[in-house]
């Protein structure tokens, strides 16, 4: 039997400003699967192993909530008086024998009693009953009486189930669904304390009660009085459960944000980390800059109070909300000393690095510390074992996940961080190849695409891996397994091969793939002309200087880069030539701005080129790049990795690239037309005879 819950998951590379609600996306999960593995986990785990994994990273903050909301969390256990062993056996055996021999129907009281007694038994006693056929009938009969349980009996049954996980099996599915339905029907009559208590008990079982959680969140959304009655600790508690199911009604999330703005000063940094993580998991970006500023101001007072979980969670929400606070990053810069970075695990380091890169904030010393930590962890000896064994045997603080490798590689590359002396490229490539060899990337194929895309930005093209991901079977696997479809990365990777790898003979993207690319991926020149600051003014000045619009052309030269280029052709004497206007390409729905040689055309279309003949007359091709703020490192005249890759490819296509940086555009905005012309004359004087 299947149950449905609607969830939405975010992408870590490019935060999307969207809100999540129960109508976002449909995921179908079974209770049988939920028993062995929480929703979203690919590797089956017993509830006990699930507890251990959750406590290691994040659940401590949940368990450390204030006393008046610590109902049934991981560090709390209700004290139950144990019966003597003989008495426990007698109660259990009597009920099981009645079920097996006499096919007796049980009543709610008996079902509650046998589970309560089982919860007091030692593990050895529980193991004895694991394979008892009577328990299959017990679960079946228990499902029939679940609706007749009183509220007190319902709580006892749920609490008992959290302590007898060793007896869980597929036969308990009906009981869980019955109890879930029962809780959902009764939640309207419960107060806030009971609502959160029941949710806590379900959480302790590592099972998501789909009907109950949806009913509870809808109740808090609709009933404003019930929501207003929440205390501050209960508000934090409710927010945790919103994150636990990865979504909630949009209006409820907005109400939570409003309440948090008023009480954020009363929360500890652990609780702030908890709510930030919960809202991030719900794909909810905080809209209130006031709330984000209060969070930043409170945290930056003393970063030493932050644990790894809280700091990473706050950074996630800042990144997802697109909120940049200079004072926060300045304080964080001082906090991240070499000694502190050495104490962090790679999960935290990858999040720190991605956050810095998302805001284009670069510090050479900090990024060197990140890279050194990665290299030291990667040097730990490892065995080529199956992926499932690797996850179970290797502690996450010792080994990096493929997700962490992809994040860190993207962050270091995006910031154009120089790593030649650190041997970063060789180590990163070795890590990626080893994860492919062990089969880990088969579980997460989209992370392999991210890794190859980052390596390509660094000018590294492992042909065997590229041919693998561009194969038909692997493209199908990516579409089926990825949380987001990395079409943009694939498009850039394939186009880069055509320009930079003339000896590559492996797989290429099929034409049908390129035909289906939306404008958001391929870009439009009209949008560039309207959106890019200073581009229109520069074009007008160049037109006046060169003698007309026929001597310049604004198009994206390379199809897999969206940013526009101003193209100028000059002869060997430096005199401008008319630029032939391009026409729309059927494959990419773009204009190729210049006449293409056979080499260029074959490379872009995925065919092996023939040797290019030297032209009879040496003409020069110039590409003037008007850079935006998002194309450079913050407050520096340093190109980001993707834009550096574009300039490298333009040079391979025979262009001389002239860069106009954002600070220069700002200065030209307040200049006269004559001053702009003088600036362009000086910048182009080595190539054009004015």
CB 255 within 8 A of CB 223: no
Q: pLDDT tens for residues 595-651?
A: 445 555 555 554 444 444 444 446 789 999 999 989 999 999 999 999 999 999 999
Instruction: Indicate whether 386 pLDDT > 80.
Output: no
- Position of tokens 């909120």? 323
Cβ–Cβ under 8 Å, residues 125 and 88: yes
Q: Residues 35-52: what's their mean pLDDT?
A: 33
The alpha carbons of the chain give a radius of gyration, in whole angstroms, of 30
Average pLDDT of the residues in 243-251: 89
At residue 132 the predicted structure's pLDDT band, cuts being 50, 70 and 90, is low
Per-residue CA distances from 113 to 91, 105, 109, 160 (Å): 8, 14, 6, 10
Please say if the pLDDT value at position 429 is more than 90: yes
Query: Of the spans 19-23, 285-289, 485-489, which averages the highest pLDDT?
Result: 285-289
User: What is the distance of C-alpha 469 from the center of its chain?
Assistant: 21
* pLDDT tens digits for range 137-167: 777 777 888 888 888 888 888 888 877 766 6
Q: What is the pLDDT of residue 205?
A: 76
Work out the average pLDDT over 388-406. Answer: 59
Residue of 169, 162, 179, 195 whose CA lies nearest to 51: 162
Q: What is the pLDDT of residue 467?
A: 95
Hey, how many other C-beta atoms are within 10 angstroms of the C-beta on 321?
A: 21
Q: Examine the pLDDT at 407 and tell me if it is beyond 90.
A: yes
Contact between 90 and 255 under an 8 Å Cβ cutoff? The reply is no
What is residue 496's DSSP assignment?
H
What confidence category does residue 36 fall into, taking pLDDT thresholds of 50, 70 and 90?
very low
- Mean pLDDT for 508-534 is 77
Domain assignments of the chain as residue spans, ordered by start: 31-335, 336-439, 444-517, 522-684
Q: Would you give the distance in Å from CA 199 to the centre of its chain?
A: 26
How sure is the predictor about 385, in pLDDT bands with cuts at 50, 70 and 90?
Answer: very low
The pLDDT of residue 101 is 54
- Residues of the chain with pLDDT > 90: what percent? 34
Q: Is the pLDDT of residue 41 over 60?
A: no
C-alpha dist (Å) from residue 456 to 53, 158, 394, 471, 479? 34, 53, 30, 18, 21
**What's the number of CA atoms in the CB half-sphere (13 Å) around residue 570?**
19
Give the pLDDT score at 55. Answer: 31
Task: Please list, in sequence order, all residues whose beta carbon lies within 8 angstroms of the beta carbon of residue 25, skipping any fewer than 6 positions away.
Answer: 6, 7, 8
Express each pLDDT in 304-344 by its tens digit.
777 888 888 999 999 999 999 999 999 888 888 888 898 88
Of residues 132 and 2, more confidently modeled = 132
| Distance between CA atoms of residues 484 and 13, nearest Å | 11
Q: Which distant-in-sequence residues (6+ apart) come within 8 Å of 396 by Cβ? A: 56, 57, 345, 346, 347
Q: Are 352 and 370 in contact (CB under 8 A)?
A: yes
H-run or E-run covering 5: strand 2-6
Looking at residue 442, its pLDDT comes to 83
Per the prediction, the chain carries an average pLDDT of 77
Mean pLDDT value across residues 261-285? 90
Instruction: Report pLDDT for 310.
Output: 86
Of the candidate ranges 300-309, 359-368, 387-396, 402-411, the one whose mean pLDDT is the lowest: 387-396
Determine the pLDDT at residue 584. 37
Confidence of residue 381 (pLDDT cuts 50, 70, 90): low
Q: pLDDT tens for residues 65-122?
A: 444 334 334 333 444 445 555 565 666 666 666 666 555 677 888 888 878 877 777 7
């Amino acid at each position: 039997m299947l149950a449905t819950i609607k969830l939405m998951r975010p992408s870590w590379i490019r935060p999307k400003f969207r809100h999540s609600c129960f109508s976002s996306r449909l995921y179908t999960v079974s209770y049988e699967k939920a028993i062995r593995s929480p929703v979203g986990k690919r590797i089956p785990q017993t509830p006990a192993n699930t507890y251990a994994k959750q406590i290691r990273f994040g659940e401590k903050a949940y368990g450390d909530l204030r006393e008046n909301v610590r109902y049934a969390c991981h560090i709390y256990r209700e004290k139950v008086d144990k019966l003597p062993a003989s008495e426990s056996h007698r109660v259990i055996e009597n009920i099981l024998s009645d079920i097996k021999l006499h096919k007796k129907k049980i009543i709610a009281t008996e079902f509650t009693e046998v589970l309560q007694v089982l919860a007091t038994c030692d593990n050895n006693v529980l193991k004895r009953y694991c394979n008892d056929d009577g328990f299959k009938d017990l679960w079946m009969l228990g499902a029939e009486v679940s609706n007749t349980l009183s509220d007190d009996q319902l709580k006892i049954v749920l609490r008992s189930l959290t302590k007898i996980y060793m007896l869980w099996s597929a036969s308990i599915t009906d009981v869980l669904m019955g109890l879930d339905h029962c809780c959902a029907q009764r939640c309207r009559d419960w107060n806030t304390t009971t609502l959160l208590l029941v949710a806590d008990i379900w959480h302790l079982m590592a099972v998501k009660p789909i009907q109950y959680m949806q009913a509870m969140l809808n109740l808090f959304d609709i009933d404003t009085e019930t929501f207003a009655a929440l205390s501050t600790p209960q508000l934090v508690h409710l927010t945790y459960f919103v994150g636990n199911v990865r979504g909630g009604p949009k209006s409820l999330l907005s109400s939570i944000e409003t309440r948090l703005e008023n009480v954020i000063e009363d929360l500890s940094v652990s609780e702030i980390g908890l709510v930030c993580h919960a809202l991030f998991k719900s794909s909810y970006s905080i809209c209130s800059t006031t709330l984000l500023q209060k969070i930043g101001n409170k945290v930056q007072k003393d970063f030493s109070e932050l644990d790894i979980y809280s700091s990473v969670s706050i950074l996630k929400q800042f990144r997802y909300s697109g909120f940049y606070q200079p004072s926060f990053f300045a304080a964080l810069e001082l906090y991240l000393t070499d000694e502190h970075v050495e104490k962090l695990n790679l999960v935290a380091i990858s999040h720190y690095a991605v956050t810095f890169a998302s805001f284009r904030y670069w510090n050479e010393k900090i990024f060197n510390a990140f890279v050194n930590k990665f290299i030291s962890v990667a040097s730990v000896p490892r065995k080529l074992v199956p992926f499932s064994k690797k996850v179970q045997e290797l502690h996450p603080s010792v080994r990096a996940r493929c997700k962490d490798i992809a994040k860190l590689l993207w962050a270091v590359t995006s910031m154009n961080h120089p790593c030649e002396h650190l041997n970063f490229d060789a180590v990163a490539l070795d890590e990626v190849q080893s994860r492919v060899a062990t089969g880990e990337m088969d579980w997460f194929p989209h992370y392999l695409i991210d890794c190859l895309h980052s390596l390509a930005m660094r000018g590294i093209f492992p042909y065997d891996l590229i041919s693998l991901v561009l194969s038909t079977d692997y493209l199908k696997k990516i579409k089926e397994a990825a949380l987001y479809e990395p079409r943009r990365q694939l498009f850039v990777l394939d186009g880069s091969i055509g320009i930079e790898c003339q000896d590559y003979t492996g797989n290429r993207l099929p034409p049908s793939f390129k035909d289906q690319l939306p404008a958001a991926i391929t870009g439009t020149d009209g949008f560039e002309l309207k959106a890019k600051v200073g581009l229109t003014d520069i074009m007008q000045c160049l037109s006046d200087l060169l003698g007309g619009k026929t001597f310049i052309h604004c198009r994206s030269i390379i199809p897999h880069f969206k940013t526009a280029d101003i193209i100028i052709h000059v002869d060997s004497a430096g005199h401008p030539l008319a630029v032939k206007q391009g026409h729309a390409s059927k494959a990419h729905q773009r204009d190729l701005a210049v006449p293409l040689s056979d080499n260029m055309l074959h490379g872009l279309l995925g065919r092996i080129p023939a040797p290019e003949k030297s032209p009879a007359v040496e003409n020069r091709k110039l590409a003037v790049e008007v850079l935006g703020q998002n194309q450079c490192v913050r407050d520096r005249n340093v190109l980001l990795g993707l834009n550096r890759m574009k300039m490298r490819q333009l040079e391979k296509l025979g262009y001389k690239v002239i860069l106009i940086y954002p600070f220069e555009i700002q200065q030209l905005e307040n200049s006269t037309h004559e001053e702009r012309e003088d600036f362009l004359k000086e910048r182009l004087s080595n190539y054009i005879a004015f």
